[in-house]
Amino acid sequence: MDSIIGIDLGTTNSAVAYLTDDGPTIIPNALGGRLTPSVVALDEGGRVLVGAAAKEYQVVRPDRCASLFKRWMGSDRTVTIGGKTFTPEDLSGLVLRSLKADAEAFFQRPVTRAVITVPAYFNDTQRKATIAAGRIAGLTVERILNEPTAAAIAYGFQGVDENKVILVFDLGGGTFDVSVVEQFDGTLEVRSSAGETALGGEDFTRALAARVLESVGLPFERAEATLPLVVARVLQQCERAKCQLSREESTTVRVPGADGELAGGKEVAVGREQLQKWIAPILGRIETPIRRVLADARLTREKIDEVILVGGATRMPLVVRRVRELFGKEPHGRLNPDEVVALGAAVQAGLVQRNAAVNDLVVTDVSPFTLGVEVSKEYGQEIQNGFFDPIIDRNTVIPVSRVKSYSTMQPNQTTISIKVYQGESRKTQENLLLGEFDVTGIPPGPKGQEVAIRFTYDLNGVIEVEATIVATKKTVSHVIARHAKGLSEAAIRKAVRDMEKLKTHPRDEEKNHYLLSRAERLYKELAAAPRRHLGALIDGFEAALESREPDAIGRHREALEYFVAEFDADNDDPTGNSYE
Ligand code: ADP
Ligand code: MG
């Protein structure tokens, strides 16, 4: 049987892992990296680049690159790059396709099944969108798993008799997610989740970039509007500097000149202390979600037994210190914070496959949002519409099914219209409309004819609705025909065909394209003299690639690599990707 892979499909970075007899292991990508940036590019030749090469390309050709699209999963928003329009599902599908190819190269055989993680707060539309992205990549999604659950699984909090309350603190590139996971009689259960959808490492990078630009008299907002390429380069510089300051006390950032050009600028020293002072106010925003997640789980801080750090931004010493202060204990950081989720997904994949290594593990999860329908209320003579009638409460253990009956309000009424919502507000207006449907064929008769509706959250946190007309016992399943948002079945099939048509570069050339992207980016940063030299090297390498002569490619590649390594020395990608 083929291996099921575990995938962390992240906002900033993605990773793929599988379960071995010794536990879960990360599968490296074509560049040897353990993380693949969730960036997709369409190069001038119309080929797709994914990962580190696309991330480098984004610095020089932002108009041909897309990133952060996980934020728009399940929405109607589209992204146009290089003249082609993509849905967030398409783009996520291309990232998944690249991870699938990495796993296939690793196993030397086709891989078609995966467990994919999503934030615990992902609603039904977003979960279905993730399953659709899997299909676009040619993967059967065996299970959608909540990210905090995956993290807890990776740390092996299960199968042990001890009962524990674990707090999963996940500060990634663009989002902050905090969840309380309870280990109880050898099972894991997400008790509550909260988060901040616009708080993460990118905000720290931007805070640093704003200071850097200000120091040459360029306010960040204005620079973003008028000098987008300069901003892209400064951001790239600042991300590197930020990561370096997690290990070292000080580093330098290249500040652009007044014309915005890095080549005409200078180097400025930045210290860890300074960076911490600048980001402290932003980091303060973790407190509200933490309070909420504890309140939802009906717990106080002292009741938390373990804290797990997840997400690349938890590598920052200031973040670890804040967590220690908030919970009065040392958080777990044994596993790489940006790999934990993929590792947990790989364990779950082993569970789906009934791998002997994870025999006695049981994982349960809870519904992410309250599910209900719209009802009207009578106030004396007056009928008011738009009230939310909860059917399955938030944080109920899944899978779960509830049946609720509705009656006709008029004599000879043959149809009942039902609107299904997800959310926590008393008014449907403030909740998410998942879809609406009509139950038809109710036999004519007096008012009060009953229709029983079964609402189910399956193991993936995905909703199914089934209606039965009590008098006739006629049942209609999958009744949410008119989805409010997200792709229809036909649209998914079309997306599968469209994305199949998009070609990538042969796998053994990926390193070359990464090297080229990185060289192009460096080109724009250098002063005139080395820049001319680099230009000549790039030309030579491109000509060699064109010629398809291995000897020539090897020679030009080596020369270019040598130059890039020399001038871009401390710019190593934090995701561990390399072209060597
Ligand atoms: P996501 O879950 O959003 O896909 P990750 O968990 O991979 O993302 O986190 C990515 C973020 O972590 C980026 O903003 C990156 O700059 C940051 N990061 C990675 N390594 C470090 C480090 N050593 N120090 C500080 N920030 C880091
Ligand atoms: Mg993540």
Residues with CB under 5 A from ligand 2 (ion): 10, 172
pLDDT tens digits for range 382-403: 878 899 999 998 878 888 999 9
Ligand 1, pocket-test mutation among 95, 199, 315, most atoms within 8 A of CB: 315
In a domain, 482, yes or no: no
- Band (pLDDT 50/70/90 cuts) for residue 356 is low
Q: What is the pLDDT of residue 481?
A: 47
Whole-number Cα distances in Å, 285 to 146, 198, 200, 278: 23, 10, 10, 14
Task: Check whether residue 173 and residue 305 sit in a common domain.
Answer: yes
- Report the candidate in 79, 83, 6 with the shortest Cα–Cα distance to residue 39: 79
In a domain, 98, yes or no: yes
Instruction: Compute the distance from residue 510 Cα to the ligand 1 centre, in Å.
Output: 23
- Exposed (0-12), middle (13-18) or buried (19+): which is 526, by Cβ within 10 Å? middle
CATH of the domain at 79: 3.30.420.40
Look at residue 226 and give its three-state secondary structure.
Answer: helix
Q: Provide the token pair at 78.
A: 């589209």
Element (H, E) at 230: helix 228-244
- Among 366, 396, 420, the domain-final residue is 366
Mean pLDDT of the chain: 88
Task: Check whether residue 292 and residue 319 sit in a common domain.
Answer: yes
pLDDT tens digits for range 399-424: 899 999 888 888 899 888 888 898 88
- CA-to-CA distance for 558 and 554, rounded, in angstroms? 6
pLDDT tens digits for range 479-504: 554 455 677 888 889 999 999 899 88
Q: Provide the token pair at 544.
A: 């060699």
Task: Check whether residue 62 and residue 191 sit in a common domain.
Answer: yes
pLDDT tens digits for range 541-578: 999 988 888 899 999 999 999 999 888 765 555 455 55
Asked if residue 27 has pLDDT above 70, the reply is yes
Residue 322: partners with Cβ closer than 8 Å, 6 or more residues away: 283, 286
Task: Check whether residue 80 and residue 185 sit in a common domain.
Answer: yes
- Among 431, 452, 473, the domain-final residue is 473
Q: Is 8 a catalytic residue?
A: yes
Task: Check whether residue 345 and residue 387 sit in a common domain.
Answer: no
Query: Is the C-beta atom of 575 inside 6 A of ligand 1?
Result: no
The average pLDDT across 91-117 equals 97
Strands 187-196 and 362-363, bridge-based pairing = parallel
Query: Is the C-beta atom of 82 inside 6 A of ligand 1?
Result: no
Annotated catalytic residue within 90, 170, 203, 436:
170
Task: Check whether residue 105 and residue 170 sit in a common domain.
Answer: yes
- CA-to-CA distance for 87 and 75, rounded, in angstroms? 9
Q: End-to-end CA distance of the chain, in Å?
A: 34
Task: Check whether residue 12 and residue 111 sit in a common domain.
Answer: yes
- Band (pLDDT 50/70/90 cuts) for residue 580 is very low
Instruction: State pTM to two decimals.
Output: 0.87
In a domain, 240, yes or no: no
Task: Check whether residue 312 and residue 395 sit in a common domain.
Answer: no
Tell me: cis bond preceding 399? Omega within 30 of 0 counts.
Answer: yes
Task: Check whether residue 510 and residue 559 sit in a common domain.
Answer: yes
Query: Is the C-beta atom of 202 inside 6 A of ligand 1?
Result: yes
Task: Check whether residue 359 and residue 414 sit in a common domain.
Answer: no
Q: Is 22 a catalytic residue?
A: no
Per the structure, the complete domain to which residue 563 belongs is given by 504-567
Question: What's the 3-state SS for 514-554?
Answer: HHHHHHHHHHHHCCHHHHHHHHHHHHHHHHHHHHCCHHHHH
CA dihedral 122, 297, 319, 314 (to 10 degrees): -40
Task: Check whether residue 418 and residue 533 sit in a common domain.
Answer: no
Q: What is the pLDDT of residue 344?
A: 95
pLDDT tens digits for range 162-221: 789 999 999 999 899 999 998 877 677 788 888 888 899 999 999 999 998 888 888 999
Whole-number Cα distances in Å, 433 to 18, 43, 123, 402, 429: 36, 38, 11, 19, 8
Whole-number Cα distances in Å, 540 to 92, 346, 534, 544, 556: 34, 43, 10, 6, 6
Task: Check whether residue 376 and residue 359 sit in a common domain.
Answer: no
- Among 342, 366, 390, the domain-final residue is 366
pLDDT tens digits for range 267-319: 889 999 999 999 999 999 999 999 999 998 899 999 999 999 999 999 999 99
In a domain, 390, yes or no: yes
In a domain, 439, yes or no: yes
Asked if residue 440 has pLDDT above 90, the reply is no
In a domain, 95, yes or no: yes
CATH of the domain at 401: 2.60.34.10
- Report the candidate in 317, 174, 308 with the shortest Cα–Cα distance to residue 244: 317
Q: What is the pLDDT of residue 579?
A: 46
- CA-to-CA distance for 239 and 174, rounded, in angstroms? 13
In a domain, 318, yes or no: yes
Residue 260 zone, left/alpha/beta (φ > 0; ψ -120 to 50; rest): left
Task: Identify the top-confidence range among 6-10, 456-460, 509-513, 515-519.
Answer: 6-10
CA dihedral 63, 64, 69, 73 (to 10 degrees): 110
Instruction: Report the domain count for the chain.
Output: 3
Instruction: Compute the distance from residue 412 Cα to the ligand 2 centre, in Å.
Output: 53
E strand spans, 78-175: 79-81, 84-86, 113-118, 140-146, 164-171
In a domain, 402, yes or no: yes
